Amino acid sequence: MTISSGFRSIAVAAIATVGVSLASAAHADSGTIRFSVYKAAFFVGGSGGEGTLTFHGRKYPISIGGVSGGLAFGVSKTYFQGTVRHIRRARDVTGVYGAAGGGGALGRGAQVIVMTNDKGAQLQLTGRQVGLQVNADLSGMSIALR
């Protein structure tokens, strides 16, 4: 039984593609992130803040910015901490993160959020909110290295 050369070529290409995908995923790493965000809104809102990314034992200062629209009102400050996954270098954390949802303070103001940027970096954050902020909106957040 002989296998045609066309089939062999397709099989080799498929195996190589899977191998490259697994190798690149294996080289992705994670770090920790902490930042605080001030947010003010009356239907249209804005937010800004700063924090630190820790990656491979090094600390990188970051800045946070964002806008939101929809049913939103209030003023708050939220302290976030968590993990950033699927990054190969510190600058992979930069970019725009989007989330759609509704929420507000839970219990004593605890929040949990997972967001992904266009480079595939994933933030898994927990936060503690101070102040009053109620929202049912589409939000976006950008992170930049300073």
Q: Say if CB 142 and CB 95 are below 8 A apart.
A: yes
CA–CA gap between residue 4 and residue 121 (Å, rounded): 41
Is 7 domain-assigned?
Answer: no
The parent domain of residue 130 ranges over 29-145
- Answer whether residue 6 is part of any domain: no
Residues contacting 39, CB < 8 A, separation 6+: 45, 46, 47, 68, 74, 75, 76, 77, 78, 133
Residue 116 lies in a domain: yes
Is 85 part of any domain? yes
Tokens, residue 10: 């397709």
Q: How many domains does the chain have?
A: 1
pLDDT in tens, the chain (146 residues): 455 555 555 555 555 554 544 444 456 899 999 999 888 887 777 889 999 999 999 999 999 998 776 667 788 888 999 999 999 999 999 999 876 444 444 445 556 788 889 899 999 888 888 887 766 554 678 999 99
pLDDT at residue 89 in the model: 95
Q: Name 36's bridge partners.
A: 50, 79
Neighbours of 132 (CB within 10 A): 12
Q: Which CATH number does the domain housing residue 118 bear?
A: 2.40.128
DSSP conformation letters of 104-123:
--BTTTEEEEEEEETT--EE
- Residue 45: the pLDDT is 78
pLDDT of residue 27: 67
